[in-house]
Amino acid sequence: MSAAAPYVEVDGLRRVFDVSKPWLNRMIERAPRQTLKAVDGVAFSIARGETFALVGESGSGKSTVARMVVGLLPPSGGEVRITGISMTDPRQAAARRRLRARIQMIFQDPYASMNPRWRVGAIVAEPIRAFDLIQGEAAIRARVGALLELVGLHPDDARKYPHAFSGGQRQRIAIARALASEAEFLVGDEPTSALDVSVQAQILNLMRDLQDRLGLTYLFISHNLAVVRHMATRVGVMYLGRLVEVGGGREIFVQPRHPYTRMLLDAVPDLAHIGRSRVPVAGEIPNPIDPPPGCTFNPRCPLANARCRSEVPELRNGVACHAAEEGRLPA
Amino acid sequence: MSEPILSVRDLRVAFETRRGSLPAIDGVSFDIGRGEILGVVGESGAGKSVTGSAVIGLLDPPGRIVGGEIRLGGERIDTLPPERMRRVRGRRIGMIFQDPLTSLDPLYRVGEQIVETIRTHTDLSARAARTRAIDLLAEVGIPAPERRIDGYPHEFSGGMRQRVVIALALAAEPELIIADEPTTALDVSVQAQVITLLKRLCREHGTAVMLVTHDMGVIAEAADRVAVMYSGRIAEIGPVEAVVRNPRHPYAVGLMGAIPTLTQGSGRLAQIPGAMPRLTAIPPGCAFHPRCPKVFGRCRVDRPEPIRTDAAPARTGSDPASSSPSAVACHLYDPDAADRPAPAGGEPPVAFHAEPLQVR
């Protein structure tokens, strides 16, 4: 693998869920099969040491992408390659097994992502044992203690159970567990959404410090645009299973191009907007089982024309929008 | 100065447990004027929702009011018998909760639920109540209300359901609305719609609103004044602009710095070390003192009382903010405290340093 190759490459990624009624109902009601395209042709790449963030509202498919990238969910189409190794190709199974240890995930709910009957020491040591990385109990204990210190906890905390910790401390334990297998790529699916703001700040700062020290690569999933602004080097905006805009963290926020990105940024309540009054964008995300034809954003888009209602826009130069391509975007 | 709609004085709420009485709310005072939105912010466990529940008389046992008083339009409501309080709820105080699905009965059409509320609290006929229900749905921005009124809650999207809940809260034209995290379950674009709606209704009807949320962005955009709560007490209260731009209480300073915003770049966030104390272990003196970078001797023993910080306390007129002054509960602002570390002025005396990760 050359140094210039991206760490993660995602190409034409698709995922279809079957949401049909049970067989008997379909027979009686003569209802056809129904499918939901949760992710439809998503492509992006993440460079080593970078934080790539996916933002979008609920139902946009961002978590589904994250689960496919780490291999928790098989894609219906397309490919994920990490350090050049395909996550789906059966011929690369052996290489993939070695890679697995270096990919870890941090989940949203720190209360649900840990076994309440295991001591913290066992939780953090689990990846070490699963991948057989260190031999000998004393060596494992020392490594767990070092990991707990790394995330700002005390080595003695290894003897306690998860219930003794607050949400923020549990998220630190989850990060320690993720790093236990010497992971270099962390996928965080809303890692701070369940936390209070002052604790969120602690975890976000910790994640950035660890990235600086260990050279980690992050895929960061969030619905909170301000958190993404704070964390991401590059950002992908998703809407109904498609990437509508990709760009550098600054560009997306300072000069958004896609009408949906603009709407989203305009809608976020922000400390800088004290007492502002405005005309919010009408409408909500359509039902993904029956998305509108053409550009899926066209029913809510102020710039939509006949082409937008019939033809799906391709992602070109970082934006998937006919209006942007035709130069119809207002400044 | 006009009479405030809601006046809470020295409210104290305790939860009786086997380990003793836990003070969830400990001496909270505030007013809300006509047409005013008071935002109540705080992190989980600060007591913001409990304050709302106490006002509407819906504290879950073992929680109960152990002190202070709550007045609605001058009349004391915390001592009303349950039967009379039941008539105040819905009629004079409307409620909006976080999850619109749990506020609506899934087995009844939304129109039936609104008509029932209207007829419980007014003497309108069934026909007139239905017309009023359609008007209400139109007012909260539900398209084709004459058709949608016969829909069931599951036929509405999340944002539309929250609009129905707002219509329900408005049904009896209450003087006060308690909105507990009304936008937390909604996506940002829908959240913006609901905030705009709430602000417009408050202005047009002159309803007082107590907006309880953990989202400072929502408060900044919607509220006229804001109360920052910590460990069952109000740390700082004042006009939203002053509290957000120029917070005084060290907790408020840390809180504002910890919130990532869209406009600022991607530097380090200020962080407050530690977490809010549990109810079983609230420290003596100022509850914030173990986390406070400006702590001095007195903070550890003496509980700070709210100190007025507005320049002209006797201002009169229609300005709703004047019905209650700005105040901060911190010894740093007590002119009588001889041993405080820095002089208290208009500038926040506190700076939180972003400490680099300790390598051991």
Q: Give the DSSP H/E element, type plus range, for residue B235.
A: strand B233-239
Task: Give yes or no for a cis peptide into B62 (omega within 30° of 0).
Answer: yes
* Residue, of A226 and B1, whose pLDDT is higher: A226
- Separation in Å, CA of A91 to nearest CA in chain B: 42
User: Among partner residues A205, A271, A277, which is closest to B269 by beta-carbon distance?
Assistant: A205
Report yes or no on A1 lying in a domain: no
HEC profile of chain A = CCCCCCCEEEEEEEEEEECCCCHHHHHHHCCCCCEEEEEEEEEEEECCCCEEEEECCCCCCHHHHHHHHCCCCCCCEEEEEECCEECCCHHHHHHHHHHHCCEEEECCCCCCCCCCCCCHHHHHHHHHHHCCCCCCHHHHHHHHHHHHHHCCCCHHHHHCCHHHCCHHHHHHHHHHHHHHCCCCEEEEECCCCCCCHHHHHHHHHHHHHHHHHHCCEEEEEECCHHHHHHHCCEEEEEECCEEEEEEEHHHHHHCCCCHHHHHHHHHCCCCCCCCCCCCCCCCCCCCCCCCCCCCCCHHHCCCCCCCCCCCCCCCECCECCHHHHCCCCCC
Q: Which amino acid is at B147?
A: R
**Cβ contact, residue pair A270, B193, below 8 Å:** no
- Residue A206 at interface with chain B, using a CB cutoff of 8 Å: yes
Nearest residue of B to residue A204, measured between CA atoms = B269
In the sheet with B6-17, reading across from the earlier edge strand, the strands are B20-32, B6-17, B63-72, B75-76
The band of A279, judged by pLDDT with boundaries at 50, 70 and 90, is low
Q: Report pLDDT for B346.
A: 43
Chain B residues in contact with A168 (beta carbon < 8 A): 275
Report yes or no on A218 lying in a domain: yes
Q: Which residues are CB-contacts of A243 (< 8 A; sequence separation ≥ 6)? A: A42, A43, A44, A236, A237, A315, A320
Nearest residue of B to residue A271, measured between CA atoms = B217
Report how far apart, in Å, the C-alpha atoms of A162 and of each of A68, A171, A173 are: 28, 10, 9
Number of domains forming the structure of chain A: 1
The Cα B47–Cα B218 span in angstroms is 18
User: Among partner residues A229, A263, A275, which is closest to B262 by beta-carbon distance?
Assistant: A229
Report how far apart, in Å, the C-alpha atoms of A321 and of each of A60, A72, A294, B222 are: 17, 31, 11, 33
- Reading chain B (360 residues) residue by residue, the pLDDT tens digits are 468 899 999 999 999 888 888 889 999 999 999 999 999 998 888 888 899 999 999 888 888 999 999 999 989 998 899 899 988 988 899 999 888 778 899 999 999 999 999 998 888 999 999 999 999 998 888 888 999 999 999 888 888 888 899 999 988 889 999 999 888 878 887 888 888 888 888 888 899 999 999 888 889 889 999 999 999 999 999 999 999 989 999 999 999 888 888 877 667 788 888 888 888 888 899 999 999 988 888 899 989 988 887 754 444 433 434 445 789 999 988 877 656 665 444 444 444 544 444 333
Q: What is the pLDDT of residues A308-326, one digit of tens each?
A: 999 999 998 899 999 988 8
Token pair for A159:
């003897």
Chain A residues in contact with B241 (beta carbon < 8 A): 274-275
DSSP code at position B333: G
Nearest residue of A to residue B159, measured between CA atoms = A284
Indicate left, alpha or beta for B128 from its phi (over 0: left) and psi (-120 to 50: alpha). alpha
* Residue, of A328 and B235, whose pLDDT is higher: B235
Q: Which residues are CB-contacts of B263 (< 8 A; sequence separation ≥ 6)? A: A270, A272
Cβ atoms of residues B67 and B29 within 8 Å: no
Q: pTM for the whole thing?
A: 0.82
The Cα B61–Cα B50 span in angstroms is 11
Tell me the residues of chain A between 226 and 255 that have a Cβ less than 8 Å away from chain B.
226-227, 229-232, 249-250, 253
**Cβ contact, residue pair A269, B192, below 8 Å:** yes
Chain A residues in contact with B263 (beta carbon < 8 A): 270, 272
**Cβ contact, residue pair A229, B266, below 8 Å:** yes
User: Among partner residues B188, B215, B269, which is closest to A201 by beta-carbon distance?
Assistant: B269
Chain B residues in contact with A229 (beta carbon < 8 A): 260-262, 266
**Mean pLDDT lowest among A129-138, A174-183, A202-211, B339-348:** B339-348
Report yes or no on A322 lying in a domain: no
**Cβ contact, residue pair B262, A272, below 8 Å:** yes
Cβ atoms of residues B206 and B174 within 8 Å: no
Q: Report pLDDT for B342.
A: 55
Q: How many CB pairs lie under 8 A apart between chains A and B?
A: 152
Give SS3 for B146. helix
Which of A211, A260, A270, A276 is the best mutation test for B, with the most CBs of B within 10 A?
A270
Q: Which of B358, B356, B43 is nearest to B229 (CA)?
A: B43
The Cα B199–Cα A277 span in angstroms is 9
Give SS3 for B248. coil
Q: Report pLDDT for B340.
A: 62
Report yes or no on A139 lying in a domain: yes
Q: Report pLDDT for A330.
A: 82
Partners of B63 in beta bridges: B15
Q: Report pLDDT for A275.
A: 66
Nearest residue of A to residue B185, measured between CA atoms = A58
Report yes or no on A140 lying in a domain: yes
Q: Within a 10 A sphere around the Cβ of B298, how many other Cβ atoms?
A: 19
Q: Report pLDDT for A232.
A: 92
User: Among partner residues A210, A225, A271, which is closest to B244 by beta-carbon distance?
Assistant: A271
User: Among partner residues B190, B255, B261, which is closest to A198 by beta-carbon distance?
Assistant: B255
Domain that holds residue A133: 8-281
Cβ atoms of residues B357 and A213 within 8 Å: yes
Q: Report pLDDT for B160.
A: 86
Which of A163, A199, A271, A285 is the best mutation test for B, with the most CBs of B within 10 A?
A271
**Cβ contact, residue pair A280, B189, below 8 Å:** yes
User: Among partner residues A57, A270, A278, which is closest to B220 by beta-carbon distance?
Assistant: A270
Range A213-223 burial, b when 16+ CB lie within 10 A, else e: eeebbbbbbbb
Continuous H helices in chain B? 48-55, 82-88, 100-103, 110-121, 126-139, 145-148, 158-170, 188-205, 216-222, 240-245, 250-258
- Residue A311 at interface with chain B, using a CB cutoff of 8 Å: no
The Cα A230–Cα B267 span in angstroms is 7
Q: What is the CATH number of the domain that holds A234?
A: 3.40.50.300
- Residue A214 at interface with chain B, using a CB cutoff of 8 Å: no
Query: What is the ipTM, given to two decimal places?
Result: 0.78
Report yes or no on A234 lying in a domain: yes
Rounded to the nearest integer, the mean pLDDT of chain A is 89
- Separation in Å, CA of A274 to nearest CA in chain B: 5
Report yes or no on A321 lying in a domain: no
Chain A residues in contact with B100 (beta carbon < 8 A): none
User: Among partner residues B193, B261, B276, which is closest to A270 by beta-carbon distance?
Assistant: B261
Q: Which amino acid is at B12?
A: R
Cβ atoms of residues A260 and A297 within 8 Å: yes
DSSP code at position B323: G
Q: Report pLDDT for B62.
A: 87
- Separation in Å, CA of A85 to nearest CA in chain B: 32
Report yes or no on A179 lying in a domain: yes
Report how far apart, in Å, the C-alpha atoms of B254 and of each of A156, B44, B292 are: 29, 16, 9
- Residue A154 at interface with chain B, using a CB cutoff of 8 Å: no
**Cβ contact, residue pair A270, B192, below 8 Å:** no
